[in-house]
């Protein structure tokens, strides 16, 4: 949000100031329509306000690209953590099956779950063999025993400029809705993309119109 705020600075560097200067120049021109110098000022102010709008639009594009890259990085981390949990499930079940206590492995799995919960809201169910099933997005399975359904970053079907989150299940990708994800870093990125950036683009477009 601080990055988004910097796209619209206050004072002389802002879009509003440039628009005001342009309108003031038009007022001067209406009083002296035949004056060549006044006409040149209007053209210069018009170019300046156009440049400010273009620069703001370009900065919003950069923010969108950064959101997409951050989503990909976070999804890669989620998949890595999910794979670690699946591997630990197998090792914990094996150790318990031999009648031993896998305390170190349980600690490692707890840490992986804590790291994962920072990315996405999750819930778990423990099986009789000591393995955990991990659910996200209101009941979608991420880890079941030693099996992982990886997250993917997809093109949003409603807007090709935006990204959406998917869950791969036997080659079929199920899109996950933002409101199903709860809290976490990934949810924050999607909310910023789908709400704050969309609002900024809309307001900038309305001002330009």
**167 close to 151: Cβ distance less than 8 angstroms:** yes
Per-residue pLDDT reduced to its tens digit, 122-169: 999 999 999 999 999 889 999 999 999 999 999 999 999 999 999 998
CA quadruple 31, 35, 38, 42: dihedral sign = positive
Contact criterion met (CB below 8 Å) for 1 and 196: yes
Would you state the pLDDT for residue 114?
A: 96
Q: Which residues contact 139 (CB under 8 A, 6 or more apart)?
A: none
Yes or no: say if 5 and 56 are a contact pair by the CB < 8 Å rule: no
Q: Is 34 exposed, middle or buried (0-12, 13-18, 19+ CB in 10 A)?
A: exposed
- The DSSP-derived string for 162-195 is SEEEEEEETTEEEEEPGGGS-SSHHHHHHHIIII
Give pLDDT tens digits for 19-51: 999 999 999 999 999 999 999 999 999 999 999
Q: Would you call 125 helix, strand, or coil by DSSP?
A: strand
pLDDT digits (tens, 9 = 90+) for 92-104: 999 998 889 899 9
What is the reported pLDDT for 61?
Answer: 95
Cα distance between residue 186 and residue 73, in whole Å: 10
pLDDT digits (tens, 9 = 90+) for 61-92: 999 999 999 999 999 999 999 999 999 999 99
What average pLDDT does the chain have? 94
Confidence at residue 37, expressed as pLDDT on a 0 to 100 scale: 96
């Amino acid at each position: 949000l601080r990055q988004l705020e910097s796209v619209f600075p206050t004072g002389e560097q802002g879009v509003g100031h440039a628009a005001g200067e342009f309108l003031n120049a038009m007022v001067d021109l209406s009083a002296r329509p035949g004056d060549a110098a006044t006409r040149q000022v209007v053209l210069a102010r018009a170019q300046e306000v156009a440049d400010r709008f273009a620069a703001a639009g370009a900065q919003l594009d950069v923010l969108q690209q950064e959101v997409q890259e951050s989503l990909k990085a976070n999804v890669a981390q989620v998949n890595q953590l999910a794979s670690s949990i699946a591997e630990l499930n197998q090792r914990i079940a094996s150790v318990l099956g031999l009648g031993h206590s896998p305390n170190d492995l349980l600690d490692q799995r707890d840490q992986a779950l804590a790291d994962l919960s920072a990315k996405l809201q999750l819930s778990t169910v423990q099986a009789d063999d000591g393995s955990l099933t991990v659910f996200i997005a209101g009941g979608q399975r991420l880890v079941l025993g030693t099996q992982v359904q990886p997250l993917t970053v997809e093109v949003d079907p409603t807007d090709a400029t935006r990204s959406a989150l998917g869950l791969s299940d036997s080659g079929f990708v199920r899109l996950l809705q933002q409101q199903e994800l709860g809290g976490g870093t990934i949810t924050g990125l999607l909310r910023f993309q789908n709400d704050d950036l969309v609002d900024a683009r809309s307001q900038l477009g309305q001002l330009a119109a």
